[in-house]
Structure formats: C-alpha cells, structure tokens
Amino acid sequence: MIKKVRIFRWDNGLRTLEDYVCIEERFEVYIVYEEFEEFLAELSASPSQLRELGAGFVVCEGYEKAGEIIDSWVEGKKIHVKVKAGDELAIEDTPYPYKARKSKLTNRKTDEIKVSPELILKISSSMTQLAETWKKTGGTHWAALFDKGGRVLAFSEDIGRHNAVDKVVGYAILNGLNLSELILASSGRMPYNMVKKVVNAGIPIVITKSPPTDKGIELARKHNITLIGFARGKRFNIYSGGYRILFESGI
C-alpha cells in the first residue's frame, strides 16, 4: 500500500527526508462465464483486496447482480470474476472511459432500514479512525460498511474513491452479507458515478464527509437512496431519502 521515497522539503529552509507515498498499480478486470471470459476494464488501484475489488466492480458497475457472483481470484495483474451462466446484461452508455463494453445502471431493491441522527454522527466520527494509510500519506480515500447498529463490517482504503467503494461491496458479496441492510460510509464526493455504484449494489443509505453533485442528488432521489453529505462534527446535510432518518419531529 505504501513505500518510502526520498524528497526535498522547504520549511524555512531546504532539507531532504524520506516520506511515505501510496503505491499505484494497474490491473485488468475480466468477467468469467462458463465457457469464456471477457475483458471489462483496466483500473489504477492500490494493490490490496483485489478479489474484493473485482467482485465489487462487476456489481457496482451494473454488469451482474450480487447473487450472480460465484468467485473472484487474482493472477498477476489480472482479476477474474466468475459469474453464473446466463444471458449477458444489456449495455448502456456511461461517462467512464473504459476500454471494453460499457456498464449500466440497474434498479436494485433496498430494505427500508431506519437510522437515528445519533447513529449517523457516530458513523461519521469513526470514519477516519481505521484509515491508517491515509494517516501516514494523506493519499487515500476510504470506504466502510456498517450495520444498522453502527458496527463496522468492512473497511477499505485505496488511491481511488471508486475503488474503495468497490472493495467493501466486493467484501460483502464474497462473504454473503446482505447489502440492502447496510450503510455505506465514504470519504469521497458523491457525483453521479459514485451514486450509481450505491444504486447498483442495492445499498439504501450512504454517508460521506464530502458533498454530492447535482446529478448525484438527482440519481439518489430517483432511486430512493438516503444520501447524507458533509457529515462532520455534530452536523450533516440530507440530500435525499430523509424518511429513513428517525427525527423526533419527523421530516
């Protein structure tokens, strides 16, 4: 995840020192059917939790549903994701500059779980405690999955905010967790393509310390995702799906 490099630093004078930086590598993702496999994308990512990255990417980008994932494995720089036999999904255009076939947006069912403002604040305050690589480098995004009691079930750091979400979703898929009952926390902004991952994964609630974009808000509202941004300190903003939050006075 990290390595030391020799750098120059100016701080009322010039000096040399060793500093920690994040490792970046490129990986190819393949979807494996019963009789053939297909190249999906080349990703720049941190070299950790690669099985999870592959499984989560396939689901979060709408190629397959979580229940269709059989296994995921890594061979060198190639990540293979095996899925159940069946018809390939229809293709829909996407802003992502992937080299292979395009991903799509699918409508997954989410459970109607409810959370309190206190739980949201608890999750937001615990967000950075596990981010050891970020503490050393400042160079990663992170994502986590919580249950409705506020317990951390999955955590990931990566140089890309998209990858971090893919990794925790992939962990849930490979370990049989029900994504429709979980809460996603993320350090990154929530534009359209990030909210699309939440929709495709079937996660009902997402909490981030950062803001969403207008297109991200529109997509969250269209699919009844509870989208919470600027979750910092004692406050947070609700952009969509406020009916899942248990305020005493209602919303």
Task: Give 181's DSSP letter.
Answer: G
Number of H helices, E strands in the chain: 6, 12
Residues present in the chain in total: 251
> Is 230 marked within a binding site?
yes
**Start-to-end CA span in the chain (Å):** 43
Is residue 231 exposed (0-12), middle (13-18) or buried (19+ Cβ within 10 Å)? buried
> Is 101 marked within a binding site?
no
Beta strands in the chain (DSSP E): 2-10, 14-22, 25-32, 37-45, 69-75, 78-83, 141-146, 152-158, 183-186, 205-208, 226-232, 235-240
> Is 233 marked within a binding site?
yes
Q: Please count the other Cβ atoms lying within 10 Å of the Cβ belonging to residue 216.
A: 26
Residue type, 90: A
> Is 57 marked within a binding site?
no
CA distance linking residue 53 with residue 167, whole number of Å: 4
> Is 39 marked within a binding site?
no
Instruction: Give the residue ranges of the annotated binding site.
Output: 230-235
